[in-house]
Amino acid sequence: MADTVVHEEATAPEPDTPVGGEHHIEFASGGWAVDDGHHHTTTGLSNNKLAMWMFLGSECLLFGGLISTYMLYRGRHEGSPSPDQLYNIPLTSVSSFVLLMSSLTMVLAVSAAQRHDDRNTSTWLTVTALLGATFVGAQVFEFTHFVHEGLGFTTNLFGSSFFTLTGFHGVHVTVGIIMLMSLVAMINRTQFHGNKAEVVELIGLYWHFVDIVWIVIFTLVYLIPS
């Protein structure tokens, strides 16, 4: 907890100054830090986790731009069927459910990792990757169907903005699957160095972010008629 970080001003004590209680205050890397036994950071929090949250905050801006562009151009579908004629809501609903369930299996993997249960961690991570692959497969099927119906990337502004938005999301899911499978391979080969639970949680944060972006896309793109 950041509240427990003790800030001192002006003069810093010598390194390794003995202190009482569970928490040691040290002068490290040019600032004050709480020694929690694992990290020496000025906030007492994991820098990796801070960086991941900052990255996810910046990703909001990326997807915000793509969603706004789609909203602006979804009516510009000259030369192709309209979005309402193209979208297959039952298929997209099922793939949304699959992605939602992958968030559940991901959080179960994080929970298993925190219990140091490698077997269940690997199993849940693999199930998450498989569910993610199912989602990507449904997206490829949808894209193929749209192209057969006459909507390509360069057909009109609707097509360009739709494929860019959902394609970017699909790429994020694919990157997530690659990270998950790499993690499973590392855990199974016991080649893991560092805090395993933290790495699983960081990849989990990325995966859940991909899920919340889809929650927004599903509503704004598929469920609200143009």
Residues 155-214 contacting another protein, CB under 8 A: 195, 197-198, 201, 204-205, 208-209, 211-212
Min. distance of Cβ 44 from another protein in angstroms?
Answer: 6
Tokens of 217: 């896309």
Tell me which DSSP letter residue 219 carries. I
Min. distance of Cβ 156 from another protein in angstroms?
Answer: 17
Using CA atoms, how far apart are residues 179 and 203, in angstroms rounded to an integer? Answer: 7
DSSP-based three-state secondary structure for 80: coil
Min. distance of Cβ 151 from another protein in angstroms?
Answer: 21
Q: Which is nearer to another protein, 142 or 201 (CB)?
A: 201
Q: Which is nearer to another protein, 61 or 189 (CB)?
A: 61
Do residues 90 and 223 touch, judged by C-beta distance below 8 A? no
Task: Enumerate residues 43-102 that contact another protein by CB under 8 A.
Answer: 43-46, 48-50, 53-54, 56-61, 63-65, 67-68, 71-72, 89, 93, 96-97, 100-101
Verify binding: residue 13, another protein, rule CB under 8 A: yes
CA atoms within 13 A on the CB side of 141: 11
Give the amino acid at 47.
Answer: N
Verify binding: residue 108, another protein, rule CB under 8 A: yes
**C-alpha torsion sign, points 154, 68, 88, 208:** positive
